Amino acid sequence: MAGGAGMKPLAAHFATAPRLLDLRGEFPALPEGWAYLDAAATAQKPRPVIEAITNAYARDYATVHRGVYARSAHMTEAYEAAREAAARFLNGRVDETIFVRGATEAINLVANSWGDANIGAGDRILLTQLEHHANIVPWRMLADRTGAEIDVAPLTPDGRIDEAALIALITPATKLVAIAHVSNVLGSVADVARIADAAHAAGAKLLVDGCQAAPRLKVDVQALGADFYCFSAHKLYGPTGIGVLWVKKPILDAMPPWQGGGAMIDEVRFERVTYADAPQRFEAGTPHIAGAVGLHAAIRWVEDIGIEAIDAHERALTAIARAELARLNNLRLFGPEETAGILSFAVGDIHPHDVATILDEGGVAIRAGHHCAQPLMRWLGVPATARASFSAHSSEADVALLVKGIERTMRIFG
């Protein structure tokens, strides 16, 4: 995309932008002069989250739900307080909120529990062209097991879900619609409530992959109308290895367990097993205790800052970066003009891995590759993209380093 005449200089963009957050000092893993622009892959951790995890292991650690001693009881209270915080964060109920290893496990849980019980030969599952592999592969596996069919909704020319076309694809045979709330490649935001209404009118359920939405958008599962909603803690400034699956209560109560083991049972006999109520029925084994504590700290931190403030901050930086990159000759921007903190691009015919390598030499960390979205790459007509993703700790200095690094890349490759 060639740059337009009369583009404002970088300083002018910053001068007219909404007031930006200044949170970099809360992130000890961010050295001065390093622009970390890969939050869509995983977010850096603020000091309160690190301290909560440290204390969970170094001061408070014990098992949960089983011990009769005081520390175990206190750790159980902390673990369940994290569940309450996660439920509140989504405006869901505590008994609808399951801890999982991450969104990938959440979607696999739904596919293997609800999916196996409710989808059969001739049924249809509706996905979209921009889904992450974690919201494609489990449904492909389910379809292969059951004889169901998969439909794929197209995108608009600027890279948003074509919601009218998606709705037209919903038929009485459609049992599930599964979409990303925010694209991990393009940053485009789906109108979840509109899609939910159409799915429910046909008797279908709606699953929403909220990995990129939860760190930057206000999520209200009641207002959205979702039946299943999931996200990973590590993208929400929390630890890896834990995530949240929210399921509407009547649906959850009818779902059979997926994994067997300790903690998810009521009574075990060799001839018969009865299971605990949800959500415990879906949490076999010793859970990620410190991870739950870290997630709780991350939610508190985000709520203290304000998710609306984080969203405005990221959108402002993304808009500035987009405007600056648009003025560079032979640079192609992907996705709509307005995005939620994520910007993908290609620099001429330079491979995105080379772009990312040269940017890294200049202290800028971005993602390069297919971003676990190979069908979307084919739709874009490229094997890969370079992706800059902003977060609460990103700054105008990061944008300046990004632009400077891309200009250097262009000079190196002529």
SS3 content of the chain, % helix, strand, coil (to 5): 45, 15, 40
Q: Can the peptide bond before residue 154 be classed as cis, meaning omega within 30 degrees of 0?
A: no
Contacting residues for 342 by C-beta, under 8 A, at least 6 apart: 40, 182, 183, 184, 185, 186, 187, 212, 318, 335, 387, 388, 389, 390
State the residue for tokens 């909404």: 18
Contacting residues for 337 by C-beta, under 8 A, at least 6 apart: 158, 322
Residue 220 CB-half CA count within 13 A: 5
Query: In which region does residue 381 sit, left (phi positive, over 0), alpha (psi from -120 to 50) or beta (all else)?
Result: left
Contacting residues for 367 by C-beta, under 8 A, at least 6 apart: 38, 40, 41, 356, 386, 387, 389
Dihedral sign for Cα atoms in the order 119, 121, 122, 124: positive
Total residue length of the chain: 414
- Specify the amino acid at residue 80: E
Show the CA angle centred on residue 124, arms to residues 118 and 128, nearest 5°: 115
Task: Tell me the C-alpha distance between 412 and 84, whole Å.
Answer: 52
DSSP secondary structure letters along 112-137: IIIIHHH--TT-EEEEETT--GGGTH
Task: Tell me the C-alpha distance between 3 and 330, whole Å.
Answer: 8
The answer to whether residue 372 is catalytic is yes
Task: Tell me the C-alpha distance between 50 and 63, whole Å.
Answer: 20
**Exactly one of 372, 377, 382, 400 is catalytic; which is it?**
372
Active-site residues: which are they?
A: 372
